[in-house]
């Protein structure tokens, strides 16, 4: 922690004799969508599939692509540790329906893995993807409480960098994602809070967000099943594996933390899109989810 860091939160715990809290969002019946269909998603993971698209994502760049409902997407680290920021949108919504990090965090947890879903924003609120495989599923919590695939933080961006360092730096995940989605008509305002893939994060004793060096190795991957037609986008984070992270890259810093060039710890990412060989059989009992059918009017009477 920098000697300049201020936090309003104390690290010492106080005891008020309160009962241990339970998760606020929980299944209310045996048919709840929060209870995974283990048999279905295991079958999807194990079923024969064919490769339909491959995208190589160079260091410090972004890539957007389309994936049809019923397909499988794999994101991997072909050359070693590299953090990846992920966005997705329902492909036919004009970028209006997108992944909602905070609601996903409430419905599942601060970090996600196999069988968890990524949920969309209001007024839709449906699963966009279901995670079916993750080679880092057994990582964490580590000695500092770090876990991978977090929904706590968001993408790095040039605005906060300017705020903190005073420098104009173009290499950020926000900028990578924005450039990537322009191919499909996306605007800067369509970039949203991310899922941090291959990134180890947590909250320290003061409740402050921290990032650790990426634990991924060459060949690690993360797979999800597309519940709806999607536009997906990733950024190969310009911070690389985060082992040399700092604000204002290339700028002078009195504590010497921000002068380094992070390019040396950056590596490419790879995206593969698959389709099931026999989707009619494997997905016979699956149906693409529809938005929640709320029939009220928010208390508005006129």
* 273 assigned to some structural domain: yes
Instruction: Count CB atoms within 10 A of the CB of residue 283.
Output: 18
Are the C-beta atoms of 88 and 231 separated by less than 8 Å? yes
Q: Tell me how far apart the alpha carbons of residues 135 and 219 are, in angstroms, rounded to a whole number.
A: 9
Number of H helices, E strands in the chain: 5, 12
* 58 assigned to some structural domain: yes
Using one digit for the tens of pLDDT, what is the confidence trace for 244-298?
888 777 655 555 555 468 899 999 999 999 999 999 999 999 999 999 999 999 9
* 91 assigned to some structural domain: yes
- CA dihedral (121, 110, 152, 40) in degrees, to 10, reads -50
* 2 assigned to some structural domain: no
Cα-to-chain-centroid distance, residue 208? 19
| pTM exceeds cut of 0.85 | yes
* 132 assigned to some structural domain: yes
Using one digit for the tens of pLDDT, what is the confidence trace for 222-246?
999 999 999 999 999 999 999 988 8
Using one digit for the tens of pLDDT, what is the confidence trace for 103-127?
999 999 999 999 999 999 999 999 9
Q: CA 142 → CA 61, 131, 137, 151, distances in Å? A: 29, 22, 13, 17
* 64 assigned to some structural domain: yes
Are the C-beta atoms of 275 and 69 separated by less than 8 Å? no
* 36 assigned to some structural domain: no
**Number of domains the chain contains:** 1
Average pLDDT over residues 13-19: 93
Using one digit for the tens of pLDDT, what is the confidence trace for 132-173?
999 999 998 999 999 999 999 999 999 999 998 888 888 899
Domain that holds residue 100: 52-246+265-282
* 138 assigned to some structural domain: yes
Q: Tell me how far apart the alpha carbons of residues 234 and 101 are, in angstroms, rounded to a whole number.
A: 15
């Amino acid at each position: 922690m920098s000697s300049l860091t201020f936090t309003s939160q104390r690290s010492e715990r106080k005891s008020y004799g309160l009962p241990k809290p339970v998760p606020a969002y929980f299944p209310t019946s045996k048919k709840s969508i929060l209870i995974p269909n283990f048999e279905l998603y295991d079958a999807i993971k194990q079923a024969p599939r064919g490769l339909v698209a491959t995208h190589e994502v160079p260091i410090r760049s972004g890539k957007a692509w389309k994936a049809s409902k019923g397909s499988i997407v794999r994101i991997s680290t072909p050359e070693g540790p590299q953090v990846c920021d992920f966005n997705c949108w329902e492909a036919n919504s004009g970028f209006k329906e997108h992944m909602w990090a905070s609601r996903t965090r409430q419905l599942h947890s601060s970090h996600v893995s196999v069988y968890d879903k990524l949920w969309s924003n209001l007024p839709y609120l449906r699963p966009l993807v279901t995670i079916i495989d993750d080679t880092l599923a057994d990582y964490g919590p580590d000695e500092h409480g770090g876990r991978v695939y977090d929904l706590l933080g968001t993408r790095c961006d040039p605005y906060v960098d300017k705020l903190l360092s005073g420098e104009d730096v173009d290499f950020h995940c926000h900028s990578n994602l924005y450039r990537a989605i322009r191919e499909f008509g996306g605007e800067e305002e369509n970039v949203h809070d991310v899922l941090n893939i291959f990134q180890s994060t947590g909250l320290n004793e003061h409740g402050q967000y921290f990032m650790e060096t990426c634990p991924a190795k060459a060949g690690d991957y993360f797979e999800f099943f597309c519940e709806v037609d999607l536009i997906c986008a990733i950024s190969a984070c310009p911070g690389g594996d985060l082992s040399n992270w700092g604000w204002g890259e290339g700028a002078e810093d009195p504590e010497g933390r921000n002068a380094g060039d992070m390019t040396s710890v950056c590596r490419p990412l790879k995206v593969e899109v698959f389709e099931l060989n026999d989707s009619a059989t494997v997905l016979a009992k699956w149906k693409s989810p529809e938005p929640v059918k709320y029939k009220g009017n928010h208390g508005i009477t006129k």
